[in-house]
Every structure is written in C-alpha cells, then in structure tokens.
C-alpha cells in the first residue's frame, strides 16, 4: 500500500465477523489486550470500546457495537511512525493513561490514534507499550522499489541528499582527500627541494662570484 | 535513515554509544522530541525516555508523554550532545567503513 493514503482501514462485518479470525499468510496474533479498549482518532473522534489485538503485522480493533457493516479498524504496523505512553491529561478530557500513536497519514483526522485500555493498572499500559515496541521492531519499512532512479517528493530529495553528503564525506575522508594530501605533500617536498637547490645554487653562485671577485682583486693587485 | 544501515553499521554503533544521553529527535512531521536515548536498533528506531520538550501547540497529546518509540524512517534530524561526540573516532570509523565497503 502506498504511503499517504487514507489510513487505517475499516474492517467490515463480513471480513472479520466480530472477532479476529481473518489473518493473512504468515500472520499470527502476538498480543491481546484484556478487557475493553477505547479507540480515539485525531482530537476526539471516539470510536467507542472494543477488543484490541496486535498481530505480528498490524494493530486491530474490533468494535463492541457494530454500525451497519463497520466492525472496527486495522492498520499495518509500519504506518505507525511513533508510539508512546501518554498519561491522563486535561486536554479534551482524557482521564485515562493511553498509548498514543502517530500515523503516516495525510488525512488530518486520522493522523493521531489513542488506544485506551479501560481496565487495569499502570502495568497494563507498560505491557501494551512493550508489545507495541516488539511488533514495531518486527515491521521495518518495506523496501521501496526503483529507489534512487526517480525522485518523487521532498522526503526522497532530503534522503538522497543525506545519502550523497554522507558518501561524499566518507569518500573525502578516505580516498580523495588522502590522495590530495599525498599529492600536496609531494608537491611541498618538491617545492622545498627546489627551494633548497635554488638556495644552494644561489649560495654557490654567490661564492663563485665572490671567489672570482677575490681572484679578480688578486689579479688586479 | 534506515536505508543507511543497509550500507553499514556505523550509525547504529554510533547511536548505541549515545544511550543514556539526552538528544533531540526531529521527526519528518516537524515534531521535536527531547529525551534520554533509551535504546536504538539496526533500523535506527529510537526509544526515548524522560521526554521533556515537545511542540505542545501542534501535538497537545504529547505533553503527557513520558516514553516513546520512534520509527527510524521518520526521523529527520537528531541533535546530539556535542560534548559526547568523539569526532576523531567517528572520522576514523567512517574511514574503516568506507574501506570495507570498497572491498565488497
């Protein structure tokens, strides 16, 4: 799925049937949060309570109350860019500690997601946070095909520049720079050599000149 | 950032040396998070603890955050404590890594 599309995806009754039964190939349930879990998108789009699962590939929430065909939400884990333990705060009346997530989503309403266990203690939340971390580590970014051939957007440009700069930096440090330094050193030595030679020659010439002057003087005397 | 790790482990090792130090991570979403580096993995995913400064106007929920996990690929910049960075060592390591890459 390309990035920046509307995420997460709605689960319909037909596909999930009120419990997590449909798993894709190689997918398995990694963690199930005991008790009811409230899900809130953005700044207050409360989806109500439901069951919350982490599979080794995605986060899945299945609503207690179905509304038409809507049965919940799921999101592939690599779209969760950042997750955190957020304490209860006064902002929009959040009275319970939760897992706060940021999603790589252009859709503003679905940019943030809060997963709020309604039962349990602080330990409950740190266990859930750890499970989030584990699954995030299992799901690195998918390799982008044709990378380096085309530049698509600002991020790509920045990425490319960073890579290039780093390459230039390392190359400078190793190959080119050392080569240049060696060249410079040789030139310096050669220059020094020339200088010394010139000085010697000059000295010699001066001496010769002086000698001949002396000799000349002697002759003249 | 995560792609760099495919070329070598230098950045990974470098960030590991900063565990326990205070850093500021700027995300591509413009969010800046200051905290103590708790851990880093091969994808340069970063775990921070004791978070202190975040852009509370844009992300009000982040105020009450203490620990967080940041996906390596969404990191734009990491501000490092300059006193903790051994530039000479970093340069030497870059040389070694570049030499090894050339061999491949």
Could you tell me the CATH number of the domain that includes residue B63? Answer: 2.30.30.100
Contacts of A163 in chain B (CB under 8 A): 3-4
**What ipTM goes with this model?**
0.80
Per-residue 3-state assignment (H helix, E strand, C coil) for chain B: CCCHHHHCCHHHHHHHCCCCCEEEEEECCCCEEEEEEEEECCCCCEEEEEEEECCCCCCHHHHHEEEEEECHHHEEEEECCHHHCCHHHHHHHHHHHHHHHHHC
Q: For residues A46 and A55, is the Cβ–Cβ distance under 8 A?
A: no
- Count structural domains, chain B: 1
Q: Is B98 on the interface with A (CB under 8 A)?
A: yes
- What pLDDT, on the 0 to 100 scale, is given for residue A6? 38
Q: For residues A20 and A60, is the Cβ–Cβ distance under 8 A?
A: yes
Q: Do A170 and B61 touch (CB under 8 A)?
A: no
Question: Residues A53-73: pLDDT tens digits?
Answer: 999 998 999 888 877 767 788
Q: For residues A37 and A116, is the Cβ–Cβ distance under 8 A?
A: yes
**Euclidean distance between CA atoms A33 and A28, whole angstroms:** 15
**Euclidean distance between CA atoms B6 and A188, whole angstroms:** 41
**What does each C-alpha distance from A219 to A43, A210, A216 come to in angstroms?**
110, 14, 5
Could you tell me the two tokens for A120? 């349990």
Q: Do B68 and A133 touch (CB under 8 A)?
A: no
Span A131-144, average pLDDT: 87
Could you tell me the two tokens for A30? 């990694």
Q: A9-138 maps to which CATH number?
A: 2.30.29.30
For each of chain B's 104 residues, which pLDDT tens digit applies? Answer: 333 434 457 888 889 989 999 999 999 888 899 999 999 998 899 999 999 877 777 777 788 888 999 999 999 999 998 888 888 888 888 888 888 878 76
- B45 vs A89, A137, A175: nearest CB: A137
**3 state SS of A114:** strand
- Output phi, psi for B92, to 5 deg: -60, -45
- What pLDDT, on the 0 to 100 scale, is given for residue B101? 79
- What pLDDT, on the 0 to 100 scale, is given for residue A170? 58
- A155 vs B28, B71, B72: nearest CB: B28
Q: For residues A131 and A30, is the Cβ–Cβ distance under 8 A?
A: yes
Q: Is B2 on the interface with A (CB under 8 A)?
A: yes
Q: For residues A58 and A77, is the Cβ–Cβ distance under 8 A?
A: yes
The residue range of the domain holding B93 is 4-103
Span A133-145, average pLDDT: 82
- B64 vs A82, A86, A112: nearest CB: A86
Q: For residues A40 and A113, is the Cβ–Cβ distance under 8 A?
A: yes
Position with higher pLDDT, A113 vs A192: A113
- Which range among A50-59, A146-155, A195-204 shows the weakest confidence by mean pLDDT? A146-155
Number of Cβ within 10 Å of residue A46's Cβ equals 13
Sign of CA dihedral A99, A100, A102, A105: positive
């Amino acid at each position: 799925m390309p990035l920046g599309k509307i995420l997460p995806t709605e689960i319909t009754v037909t596909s999930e049937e009120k419990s997590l039964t449909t798993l894709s190939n190689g997918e398995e349930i990694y963690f199930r949060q005991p008790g009811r879990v409230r899900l809130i998108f953005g700044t207050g789009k409360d989806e109500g309570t439901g069951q919350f699962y982490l599979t080794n590939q995605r986060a899945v929430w299945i609503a207690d109350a179905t509304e038409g065909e809507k049965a919940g939400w799921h999101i592939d884990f690599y779209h969760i860019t950042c997750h955190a333990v957020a304490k209860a705060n006064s902002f929009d009346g959040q009275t319970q500690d939760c897992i706060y997530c940021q999603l790589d989503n252009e859709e503003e309403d679905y940019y943030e997601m809060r997963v709020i266990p309604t039962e349990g203690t602080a330990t409950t939340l740190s266990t859930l946070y750890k499970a989030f971390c584990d699954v995030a580590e299992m799901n690195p970014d998918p390799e982008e095909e044709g990378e380096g051939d085309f530049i698509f957007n600002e991020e790509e440009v920045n990425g490319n520049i960073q890579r290039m700069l780093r390459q230039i930096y390392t190359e400078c440090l190793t190959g080119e720079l050392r080569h240049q330094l060696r060249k410079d050193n040789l030139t310096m030595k050669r220059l020094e050599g020339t200088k010394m030679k010139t000085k010697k020659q000059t000295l010699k010439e001066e001496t010769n000149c002086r000698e001949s002057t002396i000799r000349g003087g002697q002759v003249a005397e | 950032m995560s792609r760099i790790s495919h070329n070598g482990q230098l950045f990974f090792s470098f960030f590991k040396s900063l565990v326990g130090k205070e850093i500021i991570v700027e995300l591509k979403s413009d969010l800046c998070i200051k905290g103590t580096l708790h851990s880093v993995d091969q994808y340069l995913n970063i775990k921070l603890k004791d978070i202190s400064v975040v852009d509370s106007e844009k992300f009000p929920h982040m105020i009450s955050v203490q620990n967080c996990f940041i996906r390596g690929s969404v990191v734009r910049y990491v501000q490092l404590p300059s006193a903790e960075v051994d530039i000479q060592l970093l340069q030497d390591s870059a040389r070694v890594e570049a030499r090894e890459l050339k061999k491949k």
